[in-house]
């Protein structure tokens, strides 16, 4: 845990912990005003105290991490509020679940992301079993050419065949084993009763490029650089969370009114 902190942050943390634990050190303390001899003596006292009470280090680190988490949450809340239109009302992202749901979940997903694949059935179960969740999917291909091709094909399906076809294709792509080569994509389209030629021809559409670029820009503003990432009822959630954790978060959001 300690290795997650920078050296300056660690020093400040230890000082805070020592002041809290050793009141005598906190009285009239001015490190800059000390002579070299006084600084050396103080350093020796700090070292001796830490050697005798190493638990202070972890206590102080815990305090700092909790403070940093609070600051990050506050910053995230503001970022989400500033980008509400792009998150919830961009006019092109697929919307599923209950359109009138009291909780909206926005998911930034990459078809080639292992944790996105792991989260997929759990998000599906959450939305299905709850019945009052609105789900928005943001196509966020960040893992190379296969990711980009998959998103282009999914969005082309949406443009060519509508939201129901997109949902079916999304589910097929997120569970696809192997690379999304053209023969594989044609097979998927055929299995779903879709016009593969029309969808493939649509993949180079400038509108698809625009949508992906806008989502990437939105992710950058939200400081999202990995998948899956979620906005849960206005709160940022970076990374995979199991079904029970998502249900708990939904319950907490509802309890807040």
Q: Where are the domains of the chain?
A: 2-75, 85-255
Alpha helices (H) in the chain, listed in sequence order: 7-21, 23-26, 36-52, 55-82, 84-88, 114-130, 145-161, 163-174, 182-191, 196-202, 206-221, 243-255
Query: Where is pLDDT greater, at 167 or 78?
Result: 167
**pLDDT computed for residue 73 by the predictor:** 63
Does residue 104 sit in helix, strand or coil?
Answer: strand
Mean pLDDT of all residues belonging to the chain: 86
Phi, psi of 232 (to 5 degrees): -105, 100
Q: Is the pTM of this model over 0.85?
A: no
Phi, psi of 105 (to 5 degrees): -115, 125
Contact call for residues 161 and 194 (beta carbons, < 8 A): yes
Residue 22 predicted with pLDDT over 90: no
Give the list of residues 6+ apart from residue 12 with CB closer than 8 angstroms, or none: 64
Nearest-angstrom CA–CA distance, 56 and 61 = 8
Does residue 109 sit in helix, strand or coil?
Answer: strand
**pLDDT computed for residue 74 by the predictor:** 63
Helix (H) or strand (E) holding 106: strand 103-109
Nearest-angstrom CA–CA distance, 185 and 194 = 11
Mean pLDDT of the region 143-159: 98
Helix axes 145-161, 182-191, angle to 10 degrees: 30
Mean pLDDT of the region 181-193: 97
Residue 234 predicted with pLDDT over 70: yes
For the segment 70-101, what is each residue's pLDDT rounded down to a tens digit? 666 667 788 999 999 999 999 999 999 999 99
Nearest-angstrom CA–CA distance, 169 and 159 = 12
Q: Which CATH topology does 85-255 take?
A: Glutaredoxin (3.40.30)
Per-residue pLDDT band for 147 (boundaries 50, 70, 90) equals: very high
Q: Is the dihedral of CA 69, 75, 78, 82 positive or negative?
A: negative
For the segment 58-76, what is each residue's pLDDT rounded down to a tens digit? 777 777 666 766 666 667 7
Give the list of residues 6+ apart from residue 82 with CB closer than 8 angstroms, or none: 221
Nearest-angstrom CA–CA distance, 62 and 45 = 23
Helix axes 36-52, 7-21, angle to 10 degrees: 80
Query: Where is pLDDT greater, at 14 or 129?
Result: 129
Is the bond leading into 176 cis (omega within 30 degrees of zero)? no
pLDDT > 90 fraction of the chain, expressed in percent and rounded: 67
Residue 11 predicted with pLDDT over 50: no
Query: Where is pLDDT greater, at 49 or 104?
Result: 104
Beta bridge partners of 137: 94, 107
For the segment 191-210, what is each residue's pLDDT rounded down to a tens digit? 999 999 999 999 999 999 99
Mean pLDDT of the region 142-149: 97
């Amino acid at each position: 845990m300690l290795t997650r902190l920078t050296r300056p942050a660690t020093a400040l943390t230890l000082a805070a912990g020592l002041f809290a634990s050793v009141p005598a050190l906190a009285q009239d303390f001015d490190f800059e005003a000390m002579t070299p001899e006084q600084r050396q003596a103080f350093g020796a006292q700090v070292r001796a105290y830490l050697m005798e009470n190493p638990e202070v280090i972890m206590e102080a680190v815990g305090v700092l991490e909790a403070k940093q988490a609070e600051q990050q949450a506050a910053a995230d809340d503001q970022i989400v509020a500033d980008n509400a239109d792009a998150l919830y009302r961009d006019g092109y992202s697929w919307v599923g679940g209950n359109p009138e749901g009291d909780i909206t979940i926005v998911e930034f997903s990459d078809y080639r992301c292992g944790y996105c694949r792991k989260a997929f059935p759990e998000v599906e179960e959450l939305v299905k079993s709850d019945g009052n969740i609105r789900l928005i999917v943001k196509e966020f291909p960040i893992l190379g050419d296969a990711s980009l091709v998959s998103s282009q094909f999914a969005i082309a399906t949406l443009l060519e065949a509508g939201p129901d076809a997109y949902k079916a294709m999304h589910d097929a792509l997120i569970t696809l084993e192997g690379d999304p080569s053209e023969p594989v994509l044609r097979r998927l389209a055929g299995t779903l009763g879709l016009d593969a030629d029309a969808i493939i021809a649509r993949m180079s559409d400038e509108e698809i490029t625009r949508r992906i670029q806008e989502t990437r820009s939105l992710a950058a503003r939200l400081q999202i650089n990995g998948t899956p990432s979620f906005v849960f009822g206005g709160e940022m959630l970076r990374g995979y969370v199991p079904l029970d954790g998502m249900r708990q978060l939904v319950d907490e959001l509802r309890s807040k009114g």
